[in-house]
Chains A and B, each alone.
Chain A
Amino acid sequence: MRTKGSARDFWARLQSIDRRWIYLVVWLVVMVPLIFPFRIRPKATPPVEKLFEFIDAMPQEKALVLSIDYGPDTQAELQPMLVALLRHAFATHHKVGVLAMVLTGLGLGENALSQVASEFNARAATHDDSIVNGEDYVFWGWNTPYITVMLGMGENISKVFPVDYYGAKTESLPLMRHLKNYADVGILVSLASSSFPQAWINLAQTQFGVKLGCGVTAVSAADFYPYLNSGQFSGMLGGMKGAAEYEQLVEEGMAKAGENWRLRARGTEAMSSQTAAHLAIILFIIIGNIAFFANRRRKL
Protein backbone atom coordinates (compact mmCIF):
# COMPACT_ATOMS: atom_id res chain seq x y z
CA MET A 1 0.00 0.00 0.00
CA ARG A 2 2.83 2.31 0.94
CA THR A 3 4.63 1.50 -2.30
CA LYS A 4 1.53 2.29 -4.35
CA GLY A 5 1.15 5.63 -2.55
CA SER A 6 4.75 6.62 -3.06
CA ALA A 7 4.48 5.69 -6.75
CA ARG A 8 1.50 8.02 -7.06
CA ASP A 9 3.48 10.75 -5.31
CA PHE A 10 6.30 10.18 -7.76
CA TRP A 11 4.05 10.78 -10.79
CA ALA A 12 2.47 13.81 -9.09
CA ARG A 13 5.90 15.29 -8.31
CA LEU A 14 7.00 14.59 -11.85
CA GLN A 15 4.21 16.74 -13.26
CA SER A 16 5.28 19.72 -11.20
CA ILE A 17 9.03 19.29 -11.71
CA ASP A 18 11.01 22.53 -11.98
CA ARG A 19 11.60 23.10 -15.69
CA ARG A 20 15.23 24.02 -15.00
CA TRP A 21 15.97 20.33 -14.38
CA ILE A 22 14.73 19.60 -17.87
CA TYR A 23 16.95 22.36 -19.28
CA LEU A 24 19.91 20.83 -17.46
CA VAL A 25 19.20 17.36 -18.88
CA VAL A 26 18.82 18.77 -22.41
CA TRP A 27 22.06 20.74 -21.96
CA LEU A 28 23.94 17.57 -20.97
CA VAL A 29 22.30 15.42 -23.63
CA VAL A 30 23.35 17.90 -26.33
CA MET A 31 26.79 18.69 -24.92
CA VAL A 32 28.17 15.21 -24.25
CA PRO A 33 27.75 13.86 -27.83
CA LEU A 34 29.38 17.05 -29.17
CA ILE A 35 32.52 16.30 -27.14
CA PHE A 36 32.34 12.51 -27.54
CA PRO A 37 30.46 12.08 -30.84
CA PHE A 38 29.15 8.82 -32.21
CA ARG A 39 29.27 8.60 -35.99
CA ILE A 40 25.99 9.19 -37.80
CA ARG A 41 25.89 9.49 -41.57
CA PRO A 42 22.40 10.71 -42.46
CA LYS A 43 20.98 9.15 -45.62
CA ALA A 44 19.88 11.78 -48.10
CA THR A 45 16.11 12.16 -48.42
CA PRO A 46 14.51 12.70 -51.88
CA PRO A 47 14.09 16.52 -51.57
CA VAL A 48 17.80 16.91 -50.73
CA GLU A 49 18.87 14.45 -53.41
CA LYS A 50 16.80 16.28 -56.01
CA LEU A 51 18.51 19.59 -55.29
CA PHE A 52 21.96 17.98 -55.33
CA GLU A 53 21.30 16.19 -58.61
CA PHE A 54 19.85 19.31 -60.19
CA ILE A 55 22.96 21.38 -59.41
CA ASP A 56 25.23 18.49 -60.37
CA ALA A 57 23.61 18.16 -63.79
CA MET A 58 23.38 21.90 -64.43
CA PRO A 59 25.14 23.09 -67.64
CA GLN A 60 28.50 24.76 -66.94
CA GLU A 61 27.41 28.06 -68.47
CA LYS A 62 24.53 28.37 -66.01
CA ALA A 63 25.20 29.96 -62.62
CA LEU A 64 24.05 29.00 -59.17
CA VAL A 65 22.57 31.95 -57.30
CA LEU A 66 22.36 31.78 -53.51
CA SER A 67 20.13 34.17 -51.64
CA ILE A 68 21.00 34.60 -47.96
CA ASP A 69 17.57 35.25 -46.52
CA TYR A 70 18.54 34.67 -42.88
CA GLY A 71 20.51 36.28 -40.09
CA PRO A 72 22.78 35.06 -37.30
CA ASP A 73 19.79 33.90 -35.21
CA THR A 74 19.32 30.89 -37.50
CA GLN A 75 22.87 30.44 -38.77
CA ALA A 76 23.24 27.15 -36.88
CA GLU A 77 20.79 25.56 -39.33
CA LEU A 78 21.36 27.54 -42.50
CA GLN A 79 25.06 28.41 -42.58
CA PRO A 80 26.11 24.73 -43.06
CA MET A 81 23.75 24.65 -46.07
CA LEU A 82 25.39 27.75 -47.56
CA VAL A 83 28.87 26.30 -47.06
CA ALA A 84 27.87 22.91 -48.54
CA LEU A 85 26.20 24.52 -51.57
CA LEU A 86 29.26 26.70 -52.23
CA ARG A 87 31.55 23.66 -51.98
CA HIS A 88 29.33 21.78 -54.40
CA ALA A 89 29.24 24.65 -56.90
CA PHE A 90 33.00 25.23 -56.81
CA ALA A 91 33.75 21.50 -56.99
CA THR A 92 31.56 21.19 -60.10
CA HIS A 93 33.05 24.39 -61.61
CA HIS A 94 29.82 26.32 -61.62
CA LYS A 95 29.83 30.10 -61.32
CA VAL A 96 28.15 31.45 -58.22
CA GLY A 97 26.27 34.66 -57.47
CA VAL A 98 25.45 35.47 -53.85
CA LEU A 99 23.10 38.10 -52.52
CA ALA A 100 21.54 38.86 -49.15
CA MET A 101 17.91 39.74 -48.63
CA VAL A 102 18.42 40.06 -44.88
CA LEU A 103 20.82 42.78 -43.78
CA THR A 104 22.51 40.77 -41.07
CA GLY A 105 23.13 37.99 -43.58
CA LEU A 106 25.85 40.05 -45.27
CA GLY A 107 28.55 39.08 -42.79
CA LEU A 108 27.48 35.43 -42.94
CA GLY A 109 27.78 35.45 -46.73
CA GLU A 110 31.23 37.02 -46.56
CA ASN A 111 32.35 34.44 -43.97
CA ALA A 112 31.11 31.47 -46.00
CA LEU A 113 32.58 32.72 -49.28
CA SER A 114 36.01 33.44 -47.82
CA GLN A 115 36.01 30.11 -45.94
CA VAL A 116 35.12 27.96 -48.96
CA ALA A 117 37.27 29.95 -51.40
CA SER A 118 40.30 29.54 -49.12
CA GLU A 119 39.59 25.78 -48.74
CA PHE A 120 39.77 25.41 -52.54
CA ASN A 121 42.64 27.85 -53.03
CA ALA A 122 44.76 26.05 -50.41
CA ARG A 123 44.62 22.94 -52.61
CA ALA A 124 44.75 24.64 -56.01
CA ALA A 125 47.72 23.77 -58.21
CA THR A 126 46.94 26.15 -61.06
CA HIS A 127 45.03 29.41 -61.57
CA ASP A 128 42.21 27.41 -63.20
CA ASP A 129 41.77 25.39 -60.01
CA SER A 130 41.65 28.44 -57.75
CA ILE A 131 38.53 30.33 -56.80
CA VAL A 132 38.72 34.03 -57.65
CA ASN A 133 36.29 36.76 -56.65
CA GLY A 134 34.73 38.34 -59.72
CA GLU A 135 35.69 35.39 -61.93
CA ASP A 136 34.26 32.34 -60.16
CA TYR A 137 31.89 34.06 -57.80
CA VAL A 138 30.36 37.42 -57.16
CA PHE A 139 28.94 38.72 -53.90
CA TRP A 140 26.37 41.31 -54.88
CA GLY A 141 25.55 42.29 -51.31
CA TRP A 142 22.17 43.63 -50.26
CA ASN A 143 19.55 45.95 -51.70
CA THR A 144 15.98 46.90 -50.91
CA PRO A 145 12.99 46.63 -51.32
CA TYR A 146 12.94 42.94 -52.07
CA ILE A 147 10.20 43.16 -54.72
CA THR A 148 12.34 45.52 -56.78
CA VAL A 149 15.38 43.27 -56.33
CA MET A 150 13.56 40.07 -57.31
CA LEU A 151 11.87 41.61 -60.34
CA GLY A 152 14.88 43.74 -61.34
CA MET A 153 17.23 40.75 -61.41
CA GLY A 154 15.09 39.30 -64.18
CA GLU A 155 16.06 42.22 -66.42
CA ASN A 156 19.54 43.28 -65.41
CA ILE A 157 21.37 42.14 -62.27
CA SER A 158 24.05 44.84 -62.61
CA LYS A 159 21.37 47.52 -62.46
CA VAL A 160 19.98 46.12 -59.22
CA PHE A 161 23.46 45.83 -57.71
CA PRO A 162 25.60 48.58 -59.35
CA VAL A 163 28.48 47.78 -56.97
CA ASP A 164 29.25 44.48 -55.28
CA TYR A 165 29.73 43.88 -51.54
CA TYR A 166 33.42 44.83 -51.79
CA GLY A 167 32.69 48.09 -53.62
CA ALA A 168 33.73 46.99 -57.14
CA LYS A 169 31.58 48.04 -60.10
CA THR A 170 29.48 44.95 -60.83
CA GLU A 171 29.49 45.48 -64.59
CA SER A 172 33.28 45.47 -64.65
CA LEU A 173 33.55 41.97 -63.16
CA PRO A 174 34.45 39.25 -65.71
CA LEU A 175 31.80 36.88 -64.33
CA MET A 176 29.03 39.41 -64.96
CA ARG A 177 29.64 39.27 -68.73
CA HIS A 178 27.93 35.87 -68.67
CA LEU A 179 25.51 36.58 -65.85
CA LYS A 180 23.10 39.26 -67.01
CA ASN A 181 19.76 38.11 -65.62
CA TYR A 182 17.70 35.04 -64.68
CA ALA A 183 18.19 33.59 -68.18
CA ASP A 184 21.80 32.86 -67.17
CA VAL A 185 20.84 31.32 -63.84
CA GLY A 186 20.57 27.51 -63.61
CA ILE A 187 18.92 27.58 -60.23
CA LEU A 188 18.40 30.10 -57.45
CA VAL A 189 18.44 28.69 -53.94
CA SER A 190 16.85 30.74 -51.19
CA LEU A 191 18.30 29.94 -47.76
CA ALA A 192 15.69 31.39 -45.50
CA SER A 193 14.38 31.67 -41.98
CA SER A 194 11.24 33.45 -43.15
CA SER A 195 8.81 33.39 -46.08
CA PHE A 196 11.33 34.67 -48.66
CA PRO A 197 11.24 31.40 -50.66
CA GLN A 198 7.54 32.06 -51.25
CA ALA A 199 8.35 35.57 -52.47
CA TRP A 200 10.95 34.15 -54.87
CA ILE A 201 8.27 31.85 -56.29
CA ASN A 202 5.70 34.61 -56.59
CA LEU A 203 7.96 37.20 -58.16
CA ALA A 204 10.96 35.57 -59.81
CA GLN A 205 9.53 32.23 -60.91
CA THR A 206 6.03 33.29 -61.93
CA GLN A 207 7.34 36.23 -63.92
CA PHE A 208 10.63 34.91 -65.31
CA GLY A 209 10.38 31.12 -64.94
CA VAL A 210 13.64 30.78 -63.01
CA LYS A 211 14.21 27.39 -61.36
CA LEU A 212 14.15 27.55 -57.56
CA GLY A 213 15.34 25.51 -54.63
CA CYS A 214 15.24 26.31 -50.95
CA GLY A 215 17.02 25.62 -47.70
CA VAL A 216 14.82 26.47 -44.76
CA THR A 217 14.79 26.25 -40.98
CA ALA A 218 13.13 23.14 -39.59
CA VAL A 219 10.36 25.29 -38.04
CA SER A 220 9.18 26.36 -41.49
CA ALA A 221 10.03 23.18 -43.44
CA ALA A 222 6.52 21.75 -43.22
CA ASP A 223 5.12 24.94 -44.81
CA PHE A 224 7.26 24.52 -47.92
CA TYR A 225 6.52 20.89 -48.79
CA PRO A 226 3.46 21.86 -50.90
CA TYR A 227 5.74 23.88 -53.19
CA LEU A 228 8.06 20.92 -53.54
CA ASN A 229 5.14 18.67 -54.39
CA SER A 230 3.87 21.13 -57.00
CA GLY A 231 7.29 21.26 -58.64
CA GLN A 232 7.74 24.96 -57.88
CA PHE A 233 10.86 24.00 -55.93
CA SER A 234 13.34 21.70 -57.61
CA GLY A 235 14.63 20.54 -54.23
CA MET A 236 14.63 21.44 -50.59
CA LEU A 237 16.87 21.24 -47.52
CA GLY A 238 14.99 21.20 -44.22
CA GLY A 239 16.81 22.24 -41.06
CA MET A 240 20.16 21.05 -39.80
CA LYS A 241 19.39 17.48 -40.89
CA GLY A 242 18.88 18.70 -44.46
CA ALA A 243 22.24 20.48 -44.23
CA ALA A 244 23.92 17.32 -42.94
CA GLU A 245 22.42 15.25 -45.77
CA TYR A 246 23.68 17.73 -48.35
CA GLU A 247 27.13 17.77 -46.73
CA GLN A 248 27.24 13.98 -47.08
CA LEU A 249 26.29 14.11 -50.75
CA VAL A 250 28.91 16.78 -51.45
CA GLU A 251 31.58 14.81 -49.57
CA GLU A 252 30.72 11.63 -51.48
CA GLY A 253 30.65 13.53 -54.79
CA MET A 254 34.02 15.13 -54.13
CA ALA A 255 35.51 11.81 -53.00
CA LYS A 256 34.34 10.22 -56.28
CA ALA A 257 36.11 13.01 -58.15
CA GLY A 258 39.31 12.23 -56.23
CA GLU A 259 39.00 15.23 -53.92
CA ASN A 260 38.87 13.42 -50.59
CA TRP A 261 39.53 16.51 -48.51
CA ARG A 262 37.59 15.66 -45.33
CA LEU A 263 36.39 19.23 -44.81
CA ARG A 264 34.68 20.25 -41.60
CA ALA A 265 30.93 19.62 -41.85
CA ARG A 266 29.12 21.36 -39.02
CA GLY A 267 25.72 19.86 -39.88
CA THR A 268 27.01 16.28 -39.84
CA GLU A 269 28.97 16.94 -36.63
CA ALA A 270 25.75 17.98 -34.92
CA MET A 271 23.78 14.86 -35.85
CA SER A 272 24.86 12.78 -32.82
CA SER A 273 23.72 15.58 -30.47
CA GLN A 274 20.52 16.03 -32.44
CA THR A 275 19.74 12.31 -32.25
CA ALA A 276 20.46 12.15 -28.50
CA ALA A 277 18.31 15.25 -27.86
CA HIS A 278 15.42 13.84 -29.92
CA LEU A 279 15.54 10.58 -27.97
CA ALA A 280 15.54 12.53 -24.69
CA ILE A 281 12.54 14.60 -25.79
CA ILE A 282 10.62 11.51 -26.93
CA LEU A 283 11.35 10.05 -23.50
CA PHE A 284 10.12 13.25 -21.82
CA ILE A 285 6.89 13.13 -23.83
CA ILE A 286 6.27 9.48 -22.91
CA ILE A 287 7.01 10.10 -19.20
CA GLY A 288 4.89 13.26 -19.23
CA ASN A 289 1.94 11.38 -20.70
CA ILE A 290 2.26 8.51 -18.23
CA ALA A 291 2.36 11.03 -15.37
CA PHE A 292 -0.68 12.83 -16.77
CA PHE A 293 -2.79 9.68 -17.05
CA ALA A 294 -1.58 8.32 -13.68
CA ASN A 295 -2.59 11.55 -11.94
CA ARG A 296 -5.92 11.71 -13.78
CA ARG A 297 -6.78 8.19 -12.66
CA ARG A 298 -5.88 9.17 -9.11
CA LYS A 299 -8.24 12.17 -9.21
CA LEU A 300 -11.07 10.02 -10.58
Chain B
Amino acid sequence: MNLATDPWVWLAAILTLAIFSFLYRENPFYRFAEHLYVGLANGYAITIYWHQVLVPSLFTPVARNPNIATKVWLIAIGIIGALYFTRFIPRVSWLVRIPIAIVLGYWSGASLPRAVDAEIIQQLRATVVTRAHLAHWDTALWAILILIGVVATISYFFFSAERKGALKPISYVGIIFIMVGFGASFGYTVMARISLFIGRLQFLLGDWLGLIK
Protein backbone atom coordinates (compact mmCIF):
# COMPACT_ATOMS: atom_id res chain seq x y z
CA MET B 1 0.00 0.00 0.00
CA ASN B 2 1.45 3.32 -1.12
CA LEU B 3 -0.89 6.13 -0.06
CA ALA B 4 -0.98 9.31 -2.15
CA THR B 5 0.66 12.38 -0.63
CA ASP B 6 -0.95 14.88 -3.01
CA PRO B 7 -3.77 16.69 -1.12
CA TRP B 8 -5.72 17.11 -4.40
CA VAL B 9 -5.80 13.32 -4.85
CA TRP B 10 -7.16 13.01 -1.29
CA LEU B 11 -9.79 15.65 -1.98
CA ALA B 12 -10.84 13.90 -5.19
CA ALA B 13 -10.97 10.54 -3.40
CA ILE B 14 -13.10 11.90 -0.56
CA LEU B 15 -15.51 13.54 -3.03
CA THR B 16 -15.72 10.31 -5.04
CA LEU B 17 -16.63 8.40 -1.88
CA ALA B 18 -19.17 11.10 -1.00
CA ILE B 19 -20.85 10.60 -4.39
CA PHE B 20 -20.77 6.80 -4.01
CA SER B 21 -22.43 7.11 -0.58
CA PHE B 22 -25.68 7.78 -2.47
CA LEU B 23 -25.77 4.06 -3.30
CA TYR B 24 -26.50 3.44 0.37
CA ARG B 25 -28.97 6.29 0.78
CA GLU B 26 -29.41 10.03 0.16
CA ASN B 27 -27.19 11.94 2.62
CA PRO B 28 -25.59 15.38 3.22
CA PHE B 29 -22.14 14.25 2.00
CA TYR B 30 -23.58 13.25 -1.35
CA ARG B 31 -25.55 16.51 -1.62
CA PHE B 32 -22.47 18.58 -0.76
CA ALA B 33 -20.36 16.84 -3.43
CA GLU B 34 -23.13 17.15 -6.02
CA HIS B 35 -23.61 20.88 -5.40
CA LEU B 36 -19.88 21.45 -5.39
CA TYR B 37 -19.56 19.73 -8.78
CA VAL B 38 -22.37 21.77 -10.35
CA GLY B 39 -20.95 25.00 -8.95
CA LEU B 40 -17.41 24.23 -10.08
CA ALA B 41 -18.49 23.21 -13.57
CA ASN B 42 -20.48 26.42 -14.01
CA GLY B 43 -17.71 28.59 -12.60
CA TYR B 44 -15.19 26.92 -14.90
CA ALA B 45 -17.44 27.40 -17.94
CA ILE B 46 -18.09 31.09 -17.17
CA THR B 47 -14.38 31.77 -16.71
CA ILE B 48 -13.43 30.08 -19.97
CA TYR B 49 -16.23 31.86 -21.87
CA TRP B 50 -15.06 35.18 -20.45
CA HIS B 51 -11.37 34.70 -21.26
CA GLN B 52 -11.64 32.77 -24.53
CA VAL B 53 -14.78 34.21 -26.12
CA LEU B 54 -15.88 37.56 -24.74
CA VAL B 55 -12.46 39.16 -24.17
CA PRO B 56 -10.71 38.16 -27.45
CA SER B 57 -13.78 38.27 -29.72
CA LEU B 58 -15.68 41.27 -28.31
CA PHE B 59 -14.01 43.46 -25.66
CA THR B 60 -10.48 43.59 -27.11
CA PRO B 61 -11.56 44.30 -30.73
CA VAL B 62 -14.03 46.95 -29.56
CA ALA B 63 -11.34 48.65 -27.47
CA ARG B 64 -8.43 48.35 -29.92
CA ASN B 65 -9.81 48.12 -33.43
CA PRO B 66 -9.48 51.57 -35.07
CA ASN B 67 -12.25 50.85 -37.58
CA ILE B 68 -15.48 52.51 -36.35
CA ALA B 69 -17.73 50.30 -38.54
CA THR B 70 -16.23 47.16 -36.98
CA LYS B 71 -16.70 48.59 -33.49
CA VAL B 72 -20.38 49.42 -34.17
CA TRP B 73 -20.95 45.98 -35.69
CA LEU B 74 -19.40 44.21 -32.70
CA ILE B 75 -21.28 46.35 -30.18
CA ALA B 76 -24.55 45.61 -32.01
CA ILE B 77 -23.79 41.86 -31.87
CA GLY B 78 -22.93 42.19 -28.17
CA ILE B 79 -26.23 43.96 -27.48
CA ILE B 80 -28.19 41.28 -29.37
CA GLY B 81 -26.40 38.59 -27.36
CA ALA B 82 -27.14 40.42 -24.11
CA LEU B 83 -30.86 40.25 -24.97
CA TYR B 84 -30.73 36.66 -23.63
CA PHE B 85 -30.73 38.24 -20.16
CA THR B 86 -34.11 39.91 -20.76
CA ARG B 87 -35.49 36.51 -19.82
CA PHE B 88 -35.15 37.67 -16.21
CA ILE B 89 -37.26 40.83 -16.77
CA PRO B 90 -40.87 39.70 -17.38
CA ARG B 91 -41.96 43.00 -19.03
CA VAL B 92 -39.41 42.72 -21.86
CA SER B 93 -38.77 38.98 -21.80
CA TRP B 94 -40.14 38.66 -25.36
CA LEU B 95 -36.91 40.25 -26.61
CA VAL B 96 -35.11 36.96 -25.95
CA ARG B 97 -36.74 35.69 -29.14
CA ILE B 98 -34.45 37.89 -31.26
CA PRO B 99 -31.12 36.17 -30.42
CA ILE B 100 -32.84 32.77 -30.34
CA ALA B 101 -34.26 33.35 -33.83
CA ILE B 102 -30.86 34.43 -35.19
CA VAL B 103 -29.11 31.39 -33.69
CA LEU B 104 -31.83 29.00 -34.88
CA GLY B 105 -31.77 30.48 -38.37
CA TYR B 106 -27.99 30.26 -38.63
CA TRP B 107 -27.75 26.74 -37.23
CA SER B 108 -30.61 25.40 -39.32
CA GLY B 109 -29.24 26.98 -42.50
CA ALA B 110 -25.75 25.64 -41.84
CA SER B 111 -26.83 22.15 -40.75
CA LEU B 112 -29.94 21.14 -42.66
CA PRO B 113 -28.63 20.79 -46.24
CA ARG B 114 -25.58 18.88 -45.04
CA ALA B 115 -27.64 16.70 -42.68
CA VAL B 116 -29.90 15.64 -45.57
CA ASP B 117 -26.86 14.42 -47.47
CA ALA B 118 -25.05 12.81 -44.51
CA GLU B 119 -28.01 11.35 -42.63
CA ILE B 120 -30.40 10.39 -45.42
CA ILE B 121 -28.70 10.10 -48.81
CA GLN B 122 -25.48 8.46 -47.55
CA GLN B 123 -27.41 6.14 -45.24
CA LEU B 124 -29.81 5.14 -48.02
CA ARG B 125 -26.87 4.46 -50.29
CA ALA B 126 -25.42 2.15 -47.62
CA THR B 127 -28.55 -0.03 -47.70
CA VAL B 128 -28.31 -0.68 -51.44
CA VAL B 129 -27.01 -4.15 -52.29
CA THR B 130 -24.40 -3.79 -55.03
CA ARG B 131 -22.52 -6.26 -57.20
CA ALA B 132 -19.43 -5.67 -55.02
CA HIS B 133 -21.37 -6.89 -51.98
CA LEU B 134 -22.33 -10.08 -53.80
CA ALA B 135 -18.70 -10.94 -54.60
CA HIS B 136 -18.26 -12.70 -51.22
CA TRP B 137 -20.87 -14.71 -49.33
CA ASP B 138 -20.28 -12.91 -46.01
CA THR B 139 -20.54 -9.37 -47.41
CA ALA B 140 -23.59 -10.46 -49.42
CA LEU B 141 -25.23 -11.90 -46.31
CA TRP B 142 -24.66 -8.73 -44.26
CA ALA B 143 -25.80 -6.45 -47.07
CA ILE B 144 -29.03 -8.43 -47.56
CA LEU B 145 -29.62 -8.58 -43.81
CA ILE B 146 -29.20 -4.80 -43.53
CA LEU B 147 -31.61 -4.25 -46.43
CA ILE B 148 -34.22 -6.55 -44.85
CA GLY B 149 -33.71 -4.92 -41.45
CA VAL B 150 -34.14 -1.38 -42.78
CA VAL B 151 -37.25 -2.20 -44.83
CA ALA B 152 -38.87 -4.25 -42.05
CA THR B 153 -38.13 -1.68 -39.32
CA ILE B 154 -39.47 1.21 -41.42
CA SER B 155 -42.57 -0.91 -42.13
CA TYR B 156 -43.14 -1.25 -38.39
CA PHE B 157 -43.26 2.54 -38.10
CA PHE B 158 -45.58 2.92 -41.11
CA PHE B 159 -48.83 4.04 -39.47
CA SER B 160 -50.77 5.20 -42.54
CA ALA B 161 -52.21 1.75 -43.24
CA GLU B 162 -53.71 -0.94 -41.03
CA ARG B 163 -51.20 -3.64 -40.14
CA LYS B 164 -52.64 -6.53 -42.14
CA GLY B 165 -51.84 -8.46 -45.30
CA ALA B 166 -48.18 -8.28 -46.33
CA LEU B 167 -47.48 -5.43 -43.91
CA LYS B 168 -48.20 -7.65 -40.88
CA PRO B 169 -45.39 -10.23 -41.28
CA ILE B 170 -42.93 -7.61 -42.54
CA SER B 171 -43.52 -5.36 -39.52
CA TYR B 172 -43.23 -8.43 -37.29
CA VAL B 173 -39.75 -9.00 -38.71
CA GLY B 174 -39.17 -5.30 -37.98
CA ILE B 175 -39.96 -5.90 -34.30
CA ILE B 176 -37.32 -8.64 -34.18
CA PHE B 177 -34.70 -6.25 -35.60
CA ILE B 178 -35.78 -3.54 -33.13
CA MET B 179 -35.47 -5.98 -30.22
CA VAL B 180 -32.00 -7.06 -31.35
CA GLY B 181 -31.11 -3.35 -31.49
CA PHE B 182 -32.43 -2.80 -27.97
CA GLY B 183 -30.48 -5.83 -26.74
CA ALA B 184 -27.25 -4.51 -28.26
CA SER B 185 -27.87 -1.08 -26.73
CA PHE B 186 -28.58 -2.61 -23.32
CA GLY B 187 -25.43 -4.73 -23.44
CA TYR B 188 -23.35 -1.69 -24.40
CA THR B 189 -25.02 0.37 -21.64
CA VAL B 190 -24.06 -2.21 -19.02
CA MET B 191 -20.49 -2.16 -20.34
CA ALA B 192 -20.45 1.65 -20.22
CA ARG B 193 -21.69 1.91 -16.65
CA ILE B 194 -19.28 -0.73 -15.42
CA SER B 195 -16.45 1.04 -17.27
CA LEU B 196 -17.19 4.30 -15.48
CA PHE B 197 -17.17 2.49 -12.15
CA ILE B 198 -13.89 0.77 -13.05
CA GLY B 199 -12.41 4.18 -13.89
CA ARG B 200 -13.25 5.49 -10.43
CA LEU B 201 -11.96 2.36 -8.74
CA GLN B 202 -8.72 2.59 -10.74
CA PHE B 203 -8.37 6.08 -9.25
CA LEU B 204 -9.29 5.06 -5.69
CA LEU B 205 -7.24 1.86 -5.60
CA GLY B 206 -4.36 3.10 -7.76
CA ASP B 207 -3.83 6.85 -7.55
CA TRP B 208 -5.13 7.17 -3.98
CA LEU B 209 -4.39 3.95 -2.09
CA GLY B 210 -1.57 2.73 -4.31
CA LEU B 211 -2.86 -0.83 -4.40
CA ILE B 212 -2.65 -1.06 -8.20
CA LYS B 213 0.73 -0.63 -9.87
Contacts and interface: CB of A to CB of B under 8 A. Distances in A.
Please determine whether chains A and B interact with each other in the same assembly: yes
Interface of A: 20, 23, 26, 30-31, 34-35, 73-77, 103-104, 106, 141-145, 147, 151, 162-163, 198, 201-203, 205-207, 217-219, 221-222, 226, 229-232, 238-241, 266, 269-270, 273-274, 277-278, 281
B190 A217 contact: no
A222 B107 CA distance: 27
B53 interface: yes
B192 A143 contact: no
A241 B194 CA distance: 11
A82 to B, nearest CB: 13
Given A20-B24, A241-B191, A270-B198, A143 B126 contact: no
Interface stretch (B2-10, B85-93, B114-122, B157-165): B114-122
A144 B81 CA distance: 14
Interface residues of B, number: 44
A282 B49 CA distance: 45
Contacts of A23: 23
B178 to A, nearest CB: 12
Contact of B123 (A31, A75, A151, A226): A226
B68 interface: no
Given A30-B201, A226-B123, A77 B117 contact: no
B199 A103 contact: no
Nearest to B112: A202
A266 B207 CA distance: 12
The 5 closest A-B pairs by CB, nearest first: A76-B199, A230-B126, A218-B192, A240-B195, A219-B192
Contact of B192 (A77, A141, A226): A77
B194 A201 contact: no
A269 B195 contact: no
B14 interface: no
Q: Would you call the interface of chain A mostly helix, strand, loop, or mixed?
A: helix
A221 B48 CA distance: 30
Nearest to B103: A145
B139 to A, nearest CB: 11
B189 A218 contact: yes
Contact of A206 (B44, B49, B118, B181): B118
Contacts of B107: 145, 147
B118 A240 contact: no
28 contacts: A20-B23, A20-B24, A26-B197, A30-B201, A75-B199, A76-B198, A143-B52, A144-B49, A144-B53, A147-B110, A147-B111, A201-B118, A203-B111, A218-B195, A219-B188, A221-B188, A222-B181, A222-B184, A226-B123, A229-B126, A230-B122, A230-B126, A239-B191, A240-B195, A270-B199, A273-B194, A274-B195, A278-B194
Contacts of A278: 190-191, 194
Contacts of A277: 194, 197-198
Interface in B43-100: 44-45, 48-49, 52-53, 56
A285 to B, nearest CB: 9
Nearest to A33: B198
A241 B197 CA distance: 14
Given A20-B24, A144-B53, A222 B185 contact: yes
Given A103-B45, A144-B49, 6 more contacts: A74-B196, A147-B111, A201-B118, A203-B114, A230-B125, A269-B212
B140 to A, nearest CB: 14
A166 B202 CA distance: 29
Contact of A207 (B41, B114, B126, B181): B114
Interface string B169-191: 00000000000010011001111
A240 B114 contact: no
Nearest to A150: B110
A148 B180 CA distance: 38
A217 B190 CA distance: 11
A240 B48 contact: no
Nearest to B25: A20
Contact of B191 (A20, A30, A145, A240): A240
B167 interface: no
Contacts of B49: 144
B11 interface: no
Contacts of A240: 191, 195, 198
